[in-house]
Amino acid sequence: MAEVLITLVKIIVIVFVFVLGVAGSMTLLGDRKQSARIQNRVGPNQAKFFGFSLLGFPHFIADGIKLVLKENIVPAQANKFLHTIAPALVFIPALIGWSVIPFMDHYCTGTVMTLPEHGYTEVCVDGEWKNYFSIMHMNSGVLFAFAIAAISVYGAAIAGWASNSKFSLLGGLRSSAQMISYEVAMGLSLAGALLIYGTLNINEMVRMQGNLLGDWLPMWGIVIQPLAFFLFLLAGLAETKRAPFDLPEGESEIVAGYLTEYTSMKFAMMQLAEYAATVFIAALVAVVFLGGWQMPWVYADGIRIFGNHWTPFGEEVWYYISIVLRIGAITFKILFLVWLQFMMRWTLPRFRYDQVMTLGWKILLPLSIANLFITAVIVTILA
């Protein structure tokens, strides 16, 4: 019973508070305020709470109210059932994936010890690991995350088909083609990292990134797989279908793509799913390449650098401090990557569709295969 309650709390905190909170406020801060500042504007500030524009937050509320109150229009001749579930098919996978993202290592009921001679591995002495900081501890977590994320392709394709509109259909096709193309490069670039980690368990992967090379350089994924990091980030950017890869939408050619025939909350869900996917990609990059919850030189039993080790405030207190620091670290990493993705959006002009395909199939794919091959050779030699 307690397990179930803990899981429920975790789901609520992670999915509804963190993910939807970040995704929702991104629509506000990322798309409006951030873009405004980049373009020397101030952004929306006219909706006000008692005379305060509060960073444009009332606009967010107003948008929500507006979208809820709008009429839900289903086009005549549309497939009503598919048209209705398509937003859910896009939205739900973007949330389910979060079940395997660890926000912190398992909680150790005993004493944690870090073993520098074993690659700075942390072991739990006189107790057991309790999973409090990720919704689900899964041995094949990466696989699960990708499998779920791939489902959202169906959502987009179904939305495009079910709308009974040529714009929607073209948008759906573009979206599915683009997502499938980039999933290949994404998976292959990840495979190199997996070869090194030797595990599909995300929490294990993050633990391994706690290693220090020469006792000072954190062995994060970005250090051991720099090319894969760029490939993955790029492919992830394309996966989220946001600028500069926002080809499924195009005012001049296909209106709003597969969103054309959606209104009201269904439209909001589609839109929100896009933002949730952005945050999810950021989380994946963070855990696989940026050390997840790892903070450089901060370990559960103290601070270690150049072979030195000291524990401020005593072991008991430091453990809790390290938990807070590490949750803060992964949150910061995710938010930074989200911010970076938005910066990319306001920096780069959008591609042409054939350029998107060329980039996916002719550049990212060969590079990721080469990366996988070289990694495999090195791993084999070192092993």
Partner 1 sequence: MGEVKTKPVERAEQGLWEKSYIPEILRGLSVTAGHFFRNISPRKSQRRIFTKNYPEEPTVYPERYRGLHRLMLRDDGQVRCVACMCCSTICPADCIHIEAGEHDDPSIEKYPAVFVIDELRCIVCGLCVEACPCDAIRMDSGRHIPPYTERNEAFFDRDLLMELGGLSQAKQGGDRTPAAAE
Q: Binding segment for partner 1 among 10-18, 40-48, 196-204, 321-329 (CB under 8 A)?
A: 40-48
Q: Binding segment for partner 1 among 38-46, 128-136, 183-191, 285-293 (CB under 8 A)?
A: 38-46
Q: Can you say whether the dihedral through the CA atoms of 314, 317, 323, 326 is positive or negative?
A: negative
Contact call for residues 309 and 303 (beta carbons, < 8 A) = yes
Under the phi-then-psi rule, with left for phi > 0, alpha for psi from -120 to 50, and beta for the rest, what region is 278?
alpha
Q: Binding segment for partner 1 among 86-94, 319-327, 337-345, 373-381 (CB under 8 A)?
A: 337-345
* Contacts of 73 by beta carbon, 8 Å cutoff, 6+ apart: 261, 263, 264
Residue from 184, 191, 343, 378 touching partner 1 (CB under 8 A): that is 343
Centre a 10 Å sphere on the Cβ of residue 252 and count the other Cβ atoms it contains: 5
Q: Can you say whether the dihedral through the CA atoms of 183, 184, 190, 194 is positive or negative?
A: positive
Q: Binding segment for partner 1 among 101-109, 186-194, 283-291, 343-351 (CB under 8 A)?
A: 343-351
Residue 156 CA: distances (Å) to CA of 144, 160, 233? 20, 6, 21
Could you say whether residue 191 binds partner 1 (CB under 8 A)?
Answer: no
Q: Binding segment for partner 1 among 19-27, 187-195, 298-306, 346-354 (CB under 8 A)?
A: 346-354
Q: Decide whether 72 or 347 has the Cβ nearer to partner 1.
A: 347
Residue from 344, 357, 369, 378 touching partner 1 (CB under 8 A): that is 344
Contact characters 16-35, partner 1, x per CB under 8 A: ------------------x-
- DSSP labels for 48-103? -BTTB-GGGHHHHHHHHHHHHHS-----TTS-HHHHHHHHHHHHHHHHHGGGG--S
Q: How far is the CB of 344 from partner 1 (least distance, A)?
A: 7
Amino acid, res. 179: M
Could you say whether residue 37 binds partner 1 (CB under 8 A)?
Answer: yes
Could you say whether residue 85 binds partner 1 (CB under 8 A)?
Answer: no
Q: Binding segment for partner 1 among 41-49, 198-206, 280-288, 314-322 (CB under 8 A)?
A: 41-49
Residue from 8, 9, 12, 42 touching partner 1 (CB under 8 A): that is 42
Residue from 72, 109, 139, 347 touching partner 1 (CB under 8 A): that is 347
Could you say whether residue 40 binds partner 1 (CB under 8 A)?
Answer: yes
Residue closest to 164 by CA, chosen among 239, 258, 241, 248: 258
Under the phi-then-psi rule, with left for phi > 0, alpha for psi from -120 to 50, and beta for the rest, what region is 297?
left
Please tell me the distance from the alpha carbon of residue 315 to that of residue 320, in angstroms, as a whole number.
9
Contact characters 205-244, partner 1, x per CB under 8 A: -------------------------x--------------
For residue 279, what are its two tokens?
A: 């945050």
Contact call for residues 108 and 127 (beta carbons, < 8 A) = yes
Could you say whether residue 352 binds partner 1 (CB under 8 A)?
Answer: no
Could you say whether residue 55 binds partner 1 (CB under 8 A)?
Answer: no
Could you say whether residue 51 binds partner 1 (CB under 8 A)?
Answer: no
Contact call for residues 175 and 248 (beta carbons, < 8 A) = yes
Q: How far is the CB of 37 from partner 1 (least distance, A)?
A: 4
Q: How far is the CB of 62 from partner 1 (least distance, A)?
A: 19
Residues forming contacts to partner 1 in the complex (CB under 8 A) are 34, 37-42, 45, 230, 340, 343-344, 346-348
